[in-house]
Structure 1
Amino acid sequence: MSLTLPASRLRTQVASIIEGTGSSPAEARQVADNLVLANLSGHDSHGIGMVPRYVDAAAEGGLKPNSGVKVVLDTGALLTLDGQRGYGQIVGVQAMELGIARAKAHGSCIMTLGQAHHLGRIGHFAEMATAQGLVSMHFVNVLSRPVVAAWGGGDGRFGTNPCCIGIPLPGAEPFLLDFATSRVAQGKMRVAYNKGEKVAPGHLIDENGAPTDDPGVVVVPQSNGLFGALMTFGEHKGYGMAVACELLGGALTGGGTWHRPADTARTVLNGMLTVLIDPAKLGTQAAFETEARAFVDWLRQSPPGAGFDEVQIAGEPERKARAARERDGIWVDDATWSEIMAAGAKVGVRITSAD
């Protein structure tokens, strides 16, 4: 069973629940718009299914509605920022606005953001940068229950630790690479579990460290009270990238790294190192535009391989999904919808599929 609902209705419903956590109407709407945009982009793992966790995190006190980003250090091209546990969809945007302004003024900006509540889809921040003609690189860690195993390890030791790179392309949509360093995002396992689906081999280990295809091992406690773990992509290479994201997004930002036993807290904190570059001030703008476009054109000239219709570049699947889902609606499984309705009830907001 499932529902297909228009994006406009979901924006309104989610905003009402977020406002119920104590957010101002403007903040609630911005958070809701961001979550629905993730669904529209095909990333349901970072979309409205996060609402129940946000409601619980606000009740715990780990998520603090109406908190803004705090400037700790500003030397122009260097920014150190504290998210003060505010909604990541708010403080992340505020941080990017500051960083973009500095990169436009100085040619580049290195920005750290610590103690932001769940930042959501990091590609959103890269889109902000590329819209201004900037290159952006983002390295993020996750302070929450450790759900990803170290290469050669048998339990979860860190988070899904995403990496994102945005590159503007002349006369075309940007290159937007946005990926978790686990083989799949934790949220995708929540979605699969709610849909009653199994996952492909090689993605998961169970609570005993053995391979499994059951996404529930990282969603709900198993018989011994423990959880399984996700595997990193690319074996030791993805593991190395995950560690780099922990060290850069967590240690370098001052936001902290994970090095303690898991708990049951619902709060999700992110640290993010962002590097912004303005090609116009680097002195390579003309060559950059010519060579970038030539390379992308060269890629597209490749004949499609078996099982494919064409060669795409990062960012294209998301843009296609947005057009289709804005037109046709957003699919929501019954389990996720029930969780969202229950989250609304916790803050005194009643929603139905007919609202």
Structure 2
Amino acid sequence: MAITLQASDLQARVATILRAAGSSDGEAAKVAANLVLANLSGHDSHGVGMVPRYVDAVLEGGLKPNTAVKVTLDAGALLALDGCRGYGQVVGEQAMQLAMDRAGQSGSCIFALAQAHHLGRIGHFAEMAVARGLVSIHFVNVLSRPVVAAWQGGDGRFGTNPCCIGVPLRGREPFVLDFATSRVAQGKMRVAHNQGKQVEPGTLIDEDGRPTTDPGVVVVPQAKGGYGALMPFGEHKGSGLAIACELLGGALTGGGTWHRKADNSRAVLNGMLTILIDPQRLGTADSFGQEALAFVDWLRQSPPSPGTPGVRLAGEPERAARAQRGREGIAVDEATWAEIVAAGAKVGAAV
């Protein structure tokens, strides 16, 4: 049976666990707020269900509380940054603040962030950028047990490797496209497994490379001791984009790529290549604002396909979920809540 909590209550409970795991009050509050915002946005895969893994990663030494981002190269509008295995929700925001300030000065900024612990929902960083009128593009790789198969491959070779694009729309809510390059996020498989649900055909292969609808194949060790894998979205297209994220978010940033046997480490490290552009400094702000709205309005005029509400823009489902869950509370399934309580017990925190 699910437990339903208001966002503020859930955030306070998560912060209690993170403080007990070694974070300062400020860091615990920031990470907890970020996780709860993911739940509010309808993305339980990136929400408070990550807490047990974070606690394990801290105890193993792969996640380092109270760690700030480090600048390793400052070339003005080009930054190389080291997350030093700090909480991604913290070092990611620090990286974005540095880069957004530079984009304000120079009109653009590219930064390469390496060795950040799990950055969470990448759309959060795009939302930071569009709030300042900036366009943002993000390519991210995942250094953890590989859970996604390449197109026509039979086992996991890389992570869910998200791609995200944020575009401000003058006087309107922004366009925020944020997606895993796998058909679904790994965290959604954890949620489905904990809820005892099957998933859509075409989403997964088992440890023998055969199609399956059992999310447990990528969550718990299988009969032969291995795991299954998620499939990329869009066949060769999603697979190609995932590989691009590995090369850009991993190799180019200096954070590294995955090319070794899987291990049982609980840390999740991300590399992120981010491009920020200021339309005002580019000189196209007026035409950009007009054309973007003209195009969006043109899209809205499309008649809905049968049985659908019609065209929606990226970012709208998240904003709708925030409104609904802000009123009704956030439901956490029984298995996930038990894992969170157990994680708290590991560090002496009662929730």
State the TM-score bracket (shorter-chain normalisation): over 0.9
Aligned to 2:235: 235
Q: Distance in 2 between matches of 1:307 and 1:331?
A: 27
2:275 counterpart SS class: strand
2:165 counterpart SS class: strand
The superposition leaves residues 185-219 of structure 1 with CA deviations (integer Å, 9 ceiling, x where unpaired) of 00000000000000010000000000000000000
User: 1:232, CA displacement in angstroms?
Assistant: 0.1
**Superposition misfits of 4+ residues, deviation over 6 angstroms:** none
2:151 counterpart SS class: coil
Aligned to 2:93: 93
- The count of aligned residue pairs is 351
Asked whether 1:302 is paired with 2:302, we answer yes
Equivalent runs, 1:11-160 vs 2, <5 Å: 11-160=11-160
The superposition leaves residues 135-193 of structure 1 with CA deviations (integer Å, 9 ceiling, x where unpaired) of 00000000000000011110000000000000000110100000000000000000000
Equivalent runs, 1:310-325 vs 2, <5 Å: 310-325=310-325
Equivalent runs, 1:319-338 vs 2, <5 Å: 319-338=319-338
Aligned to 2:189: 189
Paired-residue identity, %:
73
Q: Distance in 2 between matches of 1:79 and 1:306?
A: 48
Give the counterpart letter for 1:33 in structure 2: A
Structure 2: gaps spanning 5 or more residues: none
Q: Distance in 2 between matches of 1:97 and 1:318?
A: 23
Give the counterpart letter for 1:19 in structure 2: R
Give the counterpart letter for 2:32 in structure 1: A
Q: Distance in 1 between matches of 2:193 and 2:96?
A: 34
Equivalent runs, 1:177-216 vs 2, <5 Å: 177-216=177-216
Q: Distance in 2 between matches of 1:184 and 1:21?
A: 30
1:104 counterpart SS class: helix
* TM-score of the pair, normalised by structure 1: 0.98
Asked whether 1:284 is paired with 2:260, we answer no
Give the counterpart letter for 2:289 in structure 1: E
Q: Distance in 1 between matches of 2:333 and 2:194?
A: 7
Give the counterpart letter for 1:114 in structure 2: A
1:109 counterpart SS class: strand
The superposition leaves residues 201-240 of structure 1 with CA deviations (integer Å, 9 ceiling, x where unpaired) of 0000000000000000000000111000000000000000
* TM-score of the pair, normalised by structure 2: 1.00
Q: Distance in 2 between matches of 1:21 and 1:67?
A: 14
Structure 1: gaps spanning 5 or more residues: none
Q: Distance in 2 between matches of 1:171 and 1:29?
A: 31
User: 1:10, CA displacement in angstroms?
Assistant: 0.4
User: 1:59, CA displacement in angstroms?
Assistant: 0.4
Give the counterpart letter for 2:126 in structure 1: A
Comparing 301-310 with 212-221, greater Cα deviation is found at 301-310
Q: Distance in 2 between matches of 1:208 and 1:69?
A: 41
Comparing 284-293 with 301-310, greater Cα deviation is found at 301-310
Q: Distance in 1 between matches of 2:110 and 2:26?
A: 29
Give the counterpart letter for 1:283 in structure 2: G
Aligned to 1:339: 339
Q: Distance in 1 between matches of 2:122 and 2:340?
A: 23
1:303 counterpart SS class: coil
User: 1:311, CA displacement in angstroms?
Assistant: 1.4
Asked whether 1:163 is paired with 2:163, we answer yes
Give the counterpart letter for 1:49 in structure 2: G
Q: Distance in 1 between matches of 2:308 and 2:23?
A: 45
CA RMSD, aligned part only?
Answer: 0.5
User: 1:310, CA displacement in angstroms?
Assistant: 2.6
Q: Distance in 2 between matches of 1:136 and 1:346?
A: 39
User: 1:326, CA displacement in angstroms?
Assistant: 0.7
The superposition leaves residues 98-134 of structure 1 with CA deviations (integer Å, 9 ceiling, x where unpaired) of 0000000000001010000000000000000000000
1:245 counterpart SS class: helix
Give the counterpart letter for 1:67 in structure 2: T
1:124 counterpart SS class: helix
Aligned to 2:226: 226
Give the counterpart letter for 2:88 in structure 1: G
Aligned to 2:350: 350
